[in-house]
Amino acid sequence: MPSRYDTIGNLTIPHLFLDVRSARTTGTATFERGDVAKKVYVEDGDVIFASSNQQDDRLGECLCQAEIISKVQLDASTEIVEKTGKKLGAVLLDLGFITPGDMTWGINLQIWRILQGLFSWRDGNYRLDEGPLQLTDVIPLRVSIDDLILKSIGGLDWKVVRKSLPSLSMVLSPSPDRRTL
C-alpha cells in the first residue's frame, strides 16, 4: 500500500483531492495541525466518510446546529452513548429523534463541514495511505469531490487560489475526458 506524506503548505488540500479523484484512489487521508486531526476516507476517488477529533465536526453537533435535534435531545442521547457504547446516530434513531433520512443528511453535512474546514488550512501535515478501507460501524456515503470543492469555493482564500493558477494569458481548451484532468 503506497503512502504519500507532505506538509500542507506544499500542496493545497483541494488539489490533493483533485489528484485523488483523477487517480480514482481508495484509501485514507489523514490531516494534522497542532492537536487537530481529521480523516477523510475515499473509495474510487469519491469521499465516502470523514471524521474529526473536533467537537464542532461531530454528527450530534451538526444535527443540533442545523436544528434537526435540540440540545436537550443531544445531551440525552450522549448520556446513553456513554452508558451503552452505542453510536450516537443509532441512539438518535432508536429514540425517534431523527429519521434515516435525517441521518443521511446529517452525515453529508458532517463530511462537508470537515472538508470545508480542511480547505482553509495553509499549514499542517497530511498523509495519504492508499489501500482497502477498514471502516466499521459507519454509513458510507458517496460524495463527489468535485461537488465538495464547488460548494466550498466561497470559503477559499482567493490569494492562495491565484497563486495556484497558471498565467492569465494561457489559452484554455476543453478536455476530451474530465477524468484525466
Q: Residue 166's pLDDT is what?
A: 67
pTM (2 d.p.): 0.77
Is pLDDT above 80 for 83?
yes
Q: Residue 174's pLDDT is what?
A: 78
Dump pLDDT digits (tens) for 32-82: 999 999 999 999 999 999 999 999 999 999 999 999 999 999 999 999 999
Average pLDDT, the chain: 85
- In whole angstroms, what separates CA 60 from the centre of its chain? 16
Q: Residue 176's pLDDT is what?
A: 77
Evaluate whether 13 touches 122 at the Cβ level (below 8 Å).
no
Q: Which residues contact 87 (CB under 8 A, 6 or more apart)?
A: 81, 137
Q: Which residues contact 38 (CB under 8 A, 6 or more apart)?
A: 30, 31, 32, 50, 51, 52, 53, 54, 57, 114, 117, 118
